[in-house]
Every structure is written in structure tokens, then in C-alpha cells.
Amino acid sequence: MPINRPTADELETAIEQYRANPDNDPKVDGYYRKIIEHLDALLEREEELGKAFAKGEQARLVSTAELLSLPEASLQRLCERFAEGNLGKSLPIIIEIWLPLAKEKLKIDNPRYRE
């Protein structure tokens, strides 16, 4: 999931830095530790589900690039094309292709989300 920021490595680094130098105020520290607990759970879900997500994303990227006649299956180029809004009659098919992946992403980032 390369377009996600912060990345897992960035989160892990930030968590390690905080744990090495926690806030002196117990209430503030408790608050940050609760956030870290949620971030740790997010990182676990990403580790567990991320590879399958990335595989599904790549497959959709290739099929969408072909559908839009893009010269390359680049996620950046696809995002640019979406931003341009020049999708023509392909939009319903694109939604059909990508909506299931968006739901998979929610299982990683926000598992409490209900359809």
C-alpha cells in the first residue's frame, strides 16, 4: 500500500521514539499509549491482510489501466486520471472493480466500519 502515509515503517519508528521518551504527565502518557495500542492493532491487521490487499490492488490496477487504455499500469498515473475526471462511460465499471477493494481496505484501517 505505497500511497498510504504514514507507512508501517514510519509508524513503527514513531512508536519506538515515543516509547523511548514518553511524556512525563501520566494523563498525556496514558492518552498516547491508548493511541499506540490502536496503532499496534492497525499494524497487526496490515501485516495480516496487507499482502492480499496489495495483490488485489495490483490486479485491479492492471485491469483498470487496460480499460482506460493507459500506457502503463501505474497507481500514480491512475490516480492522476481519476483526478482529471476523464473517465467517460467507464466510471460504473471502475466502481464495480474498485469498490470491493475499498471495503477490504476498511477491514484493515477501520474494522469497526459497517456497510
Q: Is residue 2 in some structural domain?
A: no
Of the candidates 110, 115, 107, 114, the residue with the CA atom closest to the CA atom of residue 53: 107
Q: How many domains does the chain have?
A: 1
Q: Is residue 3 in some structural domain?
A: no
Q: Is residue 114 in some structural domain?
A: no
Q: Is residue 84 in some structural domain?
A: yes
Reported as a single tens digit per residue, the pLDDT across 12-62 is: 999 999 999 999 999 999 999 999 999 999 999 989 998 999 899 999 988
Higher pLDDT, residue 31 or 74: 31
111 pLDDT higher than 80: yes
Q: Is residue 91 in some structural domain?
A: yes
Task: Print the domain residue range for 62.
Answer: 8-109
pLDDT at 35: 96
Q: How confident is the model at residue 3 (pLDDT cuts 50, 70, 90)?
A: low
Torsion angles phi and psi, residue 75, rounded to 5 = -60, -40
Residue 11: how many CB atoms within 10 A of its CB? 18
Q: Is residue 1 in some structural domain?
A: no
**Range name among 19-33, 62-76, 89-103 with the lowest pLDDT average:** 62-76
